[in-house]
Structure 1
């Protein structure tokens, strides 16, 4: 069943983000995440699903804050880097503290950044569902988003969007 489930989810393209957090003494941590969705407009909230054993989850829980960096079409190398577990990943990207929480904002890789505080954390299988209250949204660039589906990266640009 696990293999069939993985195949089913691979056939469901989704946007790619990097969830980041920072704390002392751990410093900045982050991981590529495609399990993200909006939850509520009022109040603005979203949820991310992070692996239960993830060091990033531990920092998110301890600090009570995180940033969701929605990656632009040219950021495939950053998505791969943050999926790799490389210990020097923050030395290899441009980032700055998000304005409210200080969570790392990946300024060269993201098209939009949501600065969030943790509202709730719920266990779900081998992951934890983190509900975040969005405190600030920063739009860095327009017209493209990195996607992942069918075990490969793609992109969506404003020029390719369907017209209504």
Structure 2
């Protein structure tokens, strides 16, 4: 029991900076979410907010920044591709996080028929093409649920991780 005469100081208010610092201490895998807009222009962004949701049907979720061209294309077309990055793909992760409008000209990619978006074969260890099944906006991001329609294992390499604001390989972790 707590002594009612002892006052506990109020908890500090949560801030964006404090939240960012907290989440940096939770390492996660890194992917690049890609799609093509209605004109066929490739879109993509680095994403560490990826989570499995269900095995039956195979469903995952990604959280994308509201207002991004990638999110707009995902919503317009109803599909996206998740490129799970391997430990040698740090440059691709940084490039797609930079917002560089020429990013697709700077790395190799292909768009197989029936795919939801560009496949980054050099940088991904696994690729999943997904169909959007649900979206939910919270704050400055939109959670997009996608049912995996096709999954390709590309390379047998360890995943790229991100935590403490640094990229690391699984073996270095």
Common fold by TM > 0.5: yes
CA-atom RMSD, angstroms?
Answer: 1.4
Give the 3-state SS of the residue equivalent to 2:22 in structure 1: helix
In 2, the alpha carbon distance for the partners of 1:24 and 1:62 equals: 7
Q: Give the superposition deviation at 1:26.
A: 5.5
Q: With the length of structure 2 as denominator, give the TM-score of the two structures.
A: 0.88
In 1, the alpha carbon distance for the partners of 2:57 and 2:72 equals: 25
Q: Give the superposition deviation at 1:143.
A: 3.0
Bigger CA drift: 17-26 or 53-62? 17-26
In 1, the alpha carbon distance for the partners of 2:18 and 2:145 equals: 28
Match of 1:100 among 101, 114, 125: 114
In 2, the alpha carbon distance for the partners of 1:26 and 1:87 equals: 15
Q: With the length of structure 1 as denominator, give the TM-score of the two structures.
A: 0.92
In 1, the alpha carbon distance for the partners of 2:131 and 2:33 equals: 12
Give the 3-state SS of the residue equivalent to 1:137 in structure 2: strand
The superposition leaves residues 3-34 of structure 1 with CA deviations (integer Å, 9 ceiling, x where unpaired) of 21111001110000000000232600000000
Aligned counterpart, 1:74? 88
Aligned counterpart, 2:30? 16
Bigger CA drift: 39-48 or 101-110? 101-110
Q: Give the superposition deviation at 1:119.
A: 0.6
Q: Give the superposition deviation at 1:136.
A: 0.6
Is the contact made by 1:98 and 1:115 (CA closer than 8 Å) also made in structure 2? no
Structure with the largest fraction of strand: 1
Q: Find the structure with the greater CA-based Rg.
A: 2
Aligned counterpart, 2:99? 85
Unaligned runs of 5+ in 2: 1-14
Unaligned runs of 5+ in 1: none
Match of 1:38 among 48, 52, 71: 52
The alignment covers a number of residue pairs equal to 159
Q: How does 1:1-164 map to 2 (within 5 A)?
A: 1-25=15-39, 27-157=41-171
